[in-house]
Amino acid sequence: MTRPKPSSQKQPDLTIVIPALHEEKRIGRTLDALADFLKHDNFFKRKDVEVLVVGADTSDRTHAIVLEKRPLFRQLKLLKPGRPVGKGYDVQYGMLRASGKIIVFMDADLATPLHHLEKFYTSCKEGSDVAVGTRNLFVYRPSMARRFASFAGNILFRIAGGIWIEDSQCGFKMFTSRAAKLCFSRLTIMGWGFDMELLAIAKANRLKIYSYRVDDWRDVPNGTFTDGILRIAARSLVDMGHIVSNRVRGAYFDNDA
């Protein structure tokens, strides 16, 4: 069980949220790499960084491995949201419990290399509300079918979400604390399409969104999503319809934003 943060504790400069469902084969190496990066990187070794691993109920050793890695970090917490609901729910659970001035979520496979953290962090410090990683999907998708589906899906999302961005699904997005609370408190899609909805919420509230091409993104074997292309396409269409409905009804707008 995670311990509540003492009220006198300094607010972290950055919180890193990592959703980790059934990640026993990967989470140990990921946390080792992250700890080494935070210790030796010239920029982040001077920062106060909180790491939150969000692990839904699982029968594997993901939770145990995370707890074993706590001595490597100044602040590492394992959050347990309960039964598996979807990646969107796990990310939301962590982001709404993050203490940092700036908050990022990233996948447990480290498909986006850690050195990108500094560029995104600096962007948020200098005025961005949201900093989003994007990929050239014609390069990274392994087949023509996946490339076409990704391209078509992003065109449809630009129409549904009202925001022009080349790739909505890269699992590396950073928010100021205020933007994170605003966007994630209004999130309603708990599965695969939550990334699209986050951007639609940010756009609806006129947040400053900057995107950065991640040219060294890696397509990790057995990565975060392994579902078939038809299932992903069908689910995406349903999610985009949900986003359009919410936009029309004004469900995303925050009068205080």
DSSP letter assigned to residue 76: E
pLDDT at 3: 44
**What is the span of the domain harbouring residue 195?**
14-249
Alpha carbons within 13 angstroms on the beta-carbon side of residue 121 total 19
In a domain, 257, yes or no: no
Span 217-233, mean pLDDT?
66
In a domain, 6, yes or no: no
In a domain, 1, yes or no: no
How does pLDDT run across 169-199, given as a tens digit for each residue?
889 999 999 999 999 999 999 988 899 999 9
How does pLDDT run across 29-72, given as a tens digit for each residue?
999 999 999 999 999 999 999 999 999 999 999 999 999 999 99
β strands within 107-213, DSSP E: 130-134, 172-176, 209-213
Give the pTM.
0.88
What value does the CA radius of gyration of the chain take, rounded to a whole number of Å? 18
User: Quick one: which H or E segment has residue 102?
Assistant: strand 102-106
In a domain, 99, yes or no: yes
Work out how many domains the chain is built from and give that number: 1
In a domain, 2, yes or no: no
74: CATH: 3.90.550.10
